[in-house]
């Protein structure tokens, strides 16, 4: 299905999302719960459609960053367990409860509050306790004995999970991950000694799953990037990746104008590019407002007629100019690929990130609201 009414759009493959989810599930095996991360609008793949697809493939848990993201999924009819990873503020409490979202609790003060909420409600509320094992972001840094006591002190809040998050999972030269795992295990053992055995222990995002770090899997994993088809390259002596995943998204834009420029013509804001030959240029319907990063000015490439061609001059808010001298067959209305593949030529988020000096996550999450989404 080729959309005829879009200027700029992404095509998301449900089949590829499902394939990536099953690749992760197969790697960890049947005893480990896979909780796909669909925060940030599923890394811009569309949280509702992605959640429907993954729930249809068997995902029983989905992870979001905040309450509002969870509410959107509930309102769309998603009935899977929804885990809120990124903390919540007092004004978000009613929705957290009304929409039956399960929170990570990041401090003992917050745990006491949550317990009072549950008591006021008159029914138990479940939570996962989030431990800062060394990343120094969210999570409690309290000592194991204090943690165990606070969990035991709760009357209505029920400990369902214990979690942490790694700071340097991709860096196999760093001892940080091993230290974080050891700290997590110390706390898990202390809770166990106090008679507390949470149903789920989870530490791992995509990278520890992909590189087979089994001692970091617990009995639940939280892959995001891998579900969308990416495993970041590792630093140091990483084992070969366990899983084969492929990007599930192609991003395209149409040609708005084609023009022939003489050698010496200056292109775009600031005349950042001067043509060194007679150049056929196309103006395409994407700009930095859509997520085509300004930093790709004069640097990035797109795929036009199956070839990588350069971006000419500055990326504007709504428009980008490209060199199509070598693909003269292209005409107004034809589509070019900004991210994805055409035949054997691919341009993925990692390649684009390298050109822009950023990370692949940011390339995906940067795809703008204005870009239509089509599911294929
Ligand atoms: C985003 C996030 C994940 C998923 O990370 P990926 O690298 O995309 O797999 C897992 N856990 C937490 C706490 C996160 O914030």
- Residue nearest (by alpha carbon) to ligand 1 atom 10: 205
Give the model's pLDDT for residue 5.
86
Mean pLDDT of successive 10-residue stretches along the chain, which has 376 residues: 82 98 98 98 98 98 98 98 97 97 98 98 97 98 98 98 97 97 98 98 98 97 98 92 95 98 98 97 98 98 98 98 97 98 95 96 96 96
What 8-state DSSP symbol labels residue 296?
G
**Distance of alpha carbon 71 from alpha carbon 103, whole angstroms:** 13
- The preferred substitution site among 104, 205, 361 for testing ligand 1, maximizing ligand atoms within 8 Å of CB, is 205
Give the Cα separation of 324 and 259 in Å (integer): 10
Neighbouring CB atoms inside 10 A of 22's CB total 15
Q: Between the CA of residue 14 and those of 52, 58, 61, 376, what are the distances in Å?
A: 10, 14, 18, 6
Asked if residue 45 has its Cβ within 6 Å of ligand 1, the reply is: no
Residue pair 304/345 in contact (Cβ under 8 Å)? The answer is no
How many A from CA of 205 to the centre of ligand 1? Answer: 5
> How does DSSP classify residue 295?
G
CA pair distance 55, 95, nearest whole angstrom: 22
State the number of CA atoms in the 13 A half-sphere of 218 facing the CB.
26
Half-sphere exposure of 357 (CA within 13 A, CB side): 5
- Pocket of ligand 1, candidates 104, 165, 224: which has the most ligand atoms within 8 Å of its Cβ, to mutate? 224
Mutate which of 85, 134, 184 for ligand 1? The one with the most ligand atoms within 8 Å of its CB, which is: 85
What's the CA gap between 185 and 193, in Å, rounded?
A: 12
**Residue 37 near ligand 1, beta carbon < 6 Å:** yes
- Ligand 1: does its nearest atom lie under 6 Å from the Cβ of 223? yes
C-alpha span between 137 and 142 (Å, rounded): 14
Q: Give the pLDDT score at 3.
A: 62
Distance from Cα 257 to the centre of ligand 1, integer Å: 41
| C-beta of residue 101 within 8 angstroms of C-beta of residue 65 | no
Q: What is the pLDDT of residue 280?
A: 98
Domain ranges of the chain: 32-228, 249-375
Q: What are phi and psi of 221, to 5 degrees?
A: -130, 155
Decide if domain 249-375 falls under CATH 3.90.1150.170: no
Domain covering 32-228 assigned CATH 3.20.20.10 in the classification: yes
Predicted confidence at residue 204, as pLDDT, reads 98
Q: How many alpha carbons fall within 13 Å on the CB side of residue 345?
A: 14
Q: Determine the distance separating the centroid of ligand 1 and the alpha carbon of 181, expressed in angstroms.
A: 16
Indicate if ligand 1 lies below 6 Å from the C-beta of 216: no
Catalytic residues: 39, 269
Contact 123, 156 (CB under 8 A): yes
State the DSSP code for 216: G
């Amino acid at each position: 299905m080729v959309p005829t009414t879009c200027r700029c759009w992404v095509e998301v493959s449900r089949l590829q999302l499902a394939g990536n989810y099953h690749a992760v599930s197969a790697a960890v095996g049947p005893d480990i719960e896979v909780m796909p991360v669909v925060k940030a609008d599923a890394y811009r793949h569309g949280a509702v459609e992605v959640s429907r697809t993954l729930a249809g493939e068997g995902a029983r848990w989905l992870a979001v960053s905040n309450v509002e993201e969870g509410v959107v999924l509930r309102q769309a009819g998603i009935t899977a367990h929804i885990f809120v990873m990124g903390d919540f503020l007092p004004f978000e409490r009613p929705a957290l409860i009304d929409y039956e979202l399960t929170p990570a609790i990041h401090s003992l003060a917050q745990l006491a509050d949550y317990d009072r909420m549950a008591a006021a409600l008159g029914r138990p509320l479940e939570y996962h306790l989030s431990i800062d094992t060394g990343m120094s972001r969210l999570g409690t840094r309290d000592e194991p004995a204090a943690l165990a006591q606070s969990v035991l002190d709760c009357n209505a809040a029920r400990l369902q999970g214990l979690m942490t998050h790694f700071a340097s999972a991709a860096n196999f030269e760093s001892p940080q991950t091993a230290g974080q795992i050891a700290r997590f295990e110390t706390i898990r053992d202390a809770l166990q000694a106090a008679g507390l055995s949470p149903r789920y222990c989870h530490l791992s995002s995509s990278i520890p799953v992909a590189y087979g770090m089994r001692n970091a899997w617990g009995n639940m994993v939280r892959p995001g990037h891998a579900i969308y088809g990416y495993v970041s390259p590792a630093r140091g002596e990483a084992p070969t990746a366990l899983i084969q995943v492929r990007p599930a998204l192609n991003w395209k834009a149409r040609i708005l104008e084609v023009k022939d420029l003489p050698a010496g013509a200056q292109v775009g804001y600031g005349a950042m590019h001067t043509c060194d030959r007679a150049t056929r240029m196309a103006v395409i319907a994407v700009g930095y407002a859509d997520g085509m990063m300004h930093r790709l000015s004069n640097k990035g490439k797109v795929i036009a007629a199956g070839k990588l061609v350069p971006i000419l001059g500055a990326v504007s808010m709504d428009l980008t100019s490209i060199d199509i001298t070598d693909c003269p067959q292209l005409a107004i209305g034809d589509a070019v690929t900004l991210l994805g593949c055409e035949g054997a030529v691919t341009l993925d988020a990692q390649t684009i990130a390298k050109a822009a000096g950023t990370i692949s996550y940011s390339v995906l999450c940067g795809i703008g609201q204005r870009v239509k989404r089509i599911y294929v």
